[in-house]
Amino acid sequence: MLACFGLVSIAGGASAHTPTVRADCSGITIGGTSYDAGRDNTWTATVNGVTTSGVFGASFSKSFPVSQDGTTTTWSMRVVGWDGNYDSGVRSGTVGPCGQTAPDDGDLKQVTFCHATGSATNPYVVLTTSVNAFYNAGHIGHGDDIWAAFSFVKQGQTVSVPAQGDQSVLANGCQVSAPPAQCTDGSNPGDLDGDGTADADDCGFVPDDGDVKKITFCHATGSATNPFVELTTSVNAFYNAGHVDHAGDIWPAFSFVKQGETISIPAQGDQSLLATGCVREVTPPTDGPTEEPTEEPTEEPTNEPTDEPTTPDEPAAQCPDGSTPGDLDEDGDVDAEDCDAVLDNGGEDDGDGTDVTGNGGGDNGDGVVQGSGGETVVSPGSGSAPEVLVPNEVQAGLDDALTSAVTVLPTTGRPFPGGPLLLIAGAALLAVAALRPARARA
């Protein structure tokens, strides 16, 4: 577009004051001629919103470029004489579009920047992406990232982005000089104790791990068919839910850190259930028929008589003649010393309960008298029945029978006080019957 101004004439023969302007895609030119020399005449021009001004004498000429990116350029101008007269007024117009529209270059243009990691030991990493990726990933909104100023075209418009952050870090490849070491071992653990300062107090401090550490345990349900369920929680949740006080729960030994101190918890319950997922293994019954118990006939009791109790052995003879006189010397032992203790007192009874042996044949009241003729006189008592003479060999057998009977009854093995009397009576009757042919003596 070309714009020209005609000459302005002033009546009365005064010299002419002529402002001029030309505007096309090659540029915008403004000027003026025939103004008063030596005076401060003024001009003002605005191109795409940018205003420029100056003073001139008799004439002037100024040129301004026009955008060649396919866009339209707007302009305005004004020329005024030194005394305020000969004002051209504001003249304006547009030029274009001129040239080719600039394509978007956000996918082509690259930007290198320092991305903040949040790490105390490695706070930044170097990244290089397209401008569009830089925007799409949200880095433009990261207040800790560092980049240099850059620009790009979007929808025909140039977008300029100012620099952000410490440019010396960007120039150093995003490497930050390491701070002095907190601890004597050269480490920088940070503010572990939570006092707001990363200092030597944090060296060796072990932070609580109850929220991080996990524990798997068997929780008792109280159900007979499903007594346990498997649970996995943090140690803090294990404590907060009160499982540590559940006597029926099962857990392995574990430890955790609280306020810088390690706390160890011993295992509880049947640890084998933890290996089976808290399920108690049950052996299923076999499919085969169960074995019927055989009914063995019980042994019929036999009617065989039990072994007869043995009769106690007869005691060995006390004396060389085969007799057993008993404890005649009253020393508490029945032995050979009693063989010489036979009383010879003329056949009279001395009252010691021992049958009298002598020549007199006296009676001590027990119904048996040892006579001098080698026989025993059996007297039934104080009645009038005649006495019976019993041979000595028969008397010896009766004495042995009486000794055994007094000691133990054959059938029961227990002493029986009445036994001797019965045997005496029976033996006497047998002896009388056997010797019935013998003649009685007076």
Give the domain ranges of the chain.
Answer: 18-99, 110-171, 214-275, 336-434
Predicted local distance difference test score (pLDDT) of residue 318: 67
Going by C-alpha positions, the residue among 2, 9, 63 that lies closest to residue 31 is 63
> Which tens digit of pLDDT belongs to each residue from 143-167?
999 999 999 988 778 899 999 999 9
- What is the C-alpha separation between 295 and 123, in angstroms, rounded? 88
What whole-number distance in Å separates Cα of residue 34 and Cα of residue 17? 5
Select from 42, 45, 49, 101 the least CA-distant residue to 71: 101
Predicted TM-score of the model (pTM)? 0.27
Question: What is residue 209's predicted lDDT score, i.e. its pLDDT?
Answer: 82
Q: Measure the CA–CA gap between 238 and 271, rounded to whole angstroms.
A: 18
Determine which helix (DSSP H) or strand (DSSP E) holds 56, and give its type and residue range. strand 50-56
> What does the pLDDT look like over 26-75, one tens digit per residue?
999 999 998 999 899 999 999 999 999 999 999 999 999 998 877 899 99
Sign of the C-alpha dihedral, residues 205, 210, 215, 221? positive
Query: Tokens 């920047």 map to which residue?
Result: 113
Nearest Cα residue to 389 out of 348, 431, 430, 356 = 431
pLDDT at position 382: 43
* pLDDT of res. 326: 78
What integer pLDDT is reported at residue 136 of this predicted model?
A: 92
- pLDDT at position 434: 56
Question: How far, CA to CA in Å, does 64 sit from each of 27, 52, 55, 77, 81?
Answer: 6, 10, 17, 12, 22
Q: Provide the pLDDT for residue 13.
A: 35
Q: How many CB atoms lie within 10 A of CB 145?
A: 20
Question: 94: which strand partners?
Answer: 74
d(CA 217, CA 268): 10
Q: Given this model, what pLDDT does residue 433 score? A: 56
The predicted structure's pLDDT at residue 402: 54
Predicted pLDDT at 127: 95
Hey, which residues does 231 pair with through a beta bridge? Answer: 217
Query: Closest Cα to residue 308, out of 423, 415, 414, 410?
Result: 410
pLDDT at site 348: 45
Strand, coil or helix: 372 = coil
Torsion angle of alpha carbons 140, 144, 148, 154, nearest 10°?
0
* Residue from 209, 259, 275, 207 nearest 267 by CA: 275
Q: Fold for domain 18-99?
A: Immunoglobulin-like (2.60.40)
How far apart are the C-alpha atoms of 240 and 247, rounded to whole Å?
16
Q: Which residues of the chain have pLDDT under 50?
A: 1-14, 342-351, 353-390, 406-413, 438-442
**Rounded (to 5) percent helix, strand, coil in the chain:** 15, 25, 55
Cα 244 from Cα 236, distance rounded (Å)? 11
